Structure 1
């Protein structure tokens, strides 16, 4: 399951390679910080310590009672394992009712995971019971040689390409159209064994990015 600099004010602007400027919606930064923190299973105190700020200040950020500086957003992105662009959104959707329900293709946000793997968040936020990702694996990309575990359950469907999947003592190769599900508490890892890109829709509950 991943960008460049601006002036501080009531809104923040940042340039990307694909878009000239996008705006950080003031009332969404707090929920993004809170959602990522909870998905990482971090307490307020743990995250505050990582960014060298007080719990009270972090609590205000999450409740949108104050706004972070670019320096603080950079520190938060490192602590939470995302690129700073995660906190920047397109200008408000044409229909505001979409905000918590629909994610348009052009508005997908990227998450860090591992070299050669790009995760796009398909859920509007990380605060609900489900996390939905589009994972794109470059040829040979892997989650690592060591399996990992976390709470919850996960499932996926291979949209294109193929994926090698290790779950516990079992090893599978799944192809386009195949799907899978397993307990995340089982040691697991995966890689793209092919010479073409692999795309997988991934569902995790609870969010555990």
Structure 2
């Protein structure tokens, strides 16, 4: 029996399963990492059992996501669940890199891709290269963004798009205005 709470999406189990699979973990691998049984984890992924806050912290650590990503979400009305994500109901995701706010635009993480709304604050940057086994396409809505892909820096303007296919990348917004981009990432990373 599924129980919905205001702080937890109805799709928590499906999201956990998608995240686990995207990291190449079996139920046994994940259960071992959590010190829990495969049966318990299977029930959580099927929304039969509800994990405690402590369990969510351990799950988030094992999946390398923020705890808030797992329960900062407004439940959608039944007729919109799985189809529509309202602006004020987006889940904040990502590693909370200084100066970057990421929100999930996809209803959940069960598709072959995820869509993310990214806001890069003025004068923010990441210094470490990011390497993910994904294919990503970004589209800049506003501001300007420097994106370095495989050692080459590109200045991206509103209306420009870019693609990253597993190459090392980093970004910087050395400008005075925020940069806002939409990213599509396959397979889902968050």
Q: In the alignment, which of 42, 57, 74 is matched to residue 90 of structure 1?
A: 74
1:176 maps to 158
Q: What's the CA shift for 1:103? A: 0.8
- TM-score, normalising length from structure 1? 0.79
Q: What's the CA shift for 1:161? A: 1.2
Q: In the alignment, which of 135, 142, 146 is matched to residue 160 of structure 1?
A: 142
Residues 16-49 of structure 1 show CA distances to partners (whole Å, capped at 9, x for unaligned) of xxxxxx3425x42211211222334433333333
Q: What's the CA shift for 1:199? A: 0.8
In structure 2, C-alpha distance between the alignment counterparts of 1:181 and 1:11, rounded to whole Å: 37
1:186 maps to 167
**Paired positions, count:** 187
1:4 maps to none
In structure 1, C-alpha distance between the alignment counterparts of 2:76 and 2:179, rounded to whole Å: 32
Q: Could you tell me whether the CA contact under 8 Å between 2:56 and 2:67 is conserved in 1?
A: no
Which runs of 5 or more structure 1 residues have no equivalent in the other structure? 1-9, 13-21
Q: What's the CA shift for 1:133? A: 0.2
1:15 maps to none
2:90 maps to 108
Aligned residue runs from structure 1 range 59-98, under 5 A: 59-80=42-63, 81-84=65-68, 86-93=70-77, 96-98=78-80
Range with greater deviation from structure 2 (58-67 or 69-78): 69-78
Q: Could you tell me whether the CA contact under 8 Å between 1:74 and 1:84 is conserved in 2?
A: no
Q: In the alignment, which of 10, 30, 51 is matched to residue 47 of structure 1?
A: 30
Residues 57-77 of structure 1 show CA distances to partners (whole Å, capped at 9, x for unaligned) of 212210122111122122223
Q: 1:122 to 1:78 in 2, by over 3 A?
A: same
Which runs of 5 or more structure 2 residues have no equivalent in the other structure? none
Range with greater deviation from structure 2 (54-63 or 130-139): 54-63
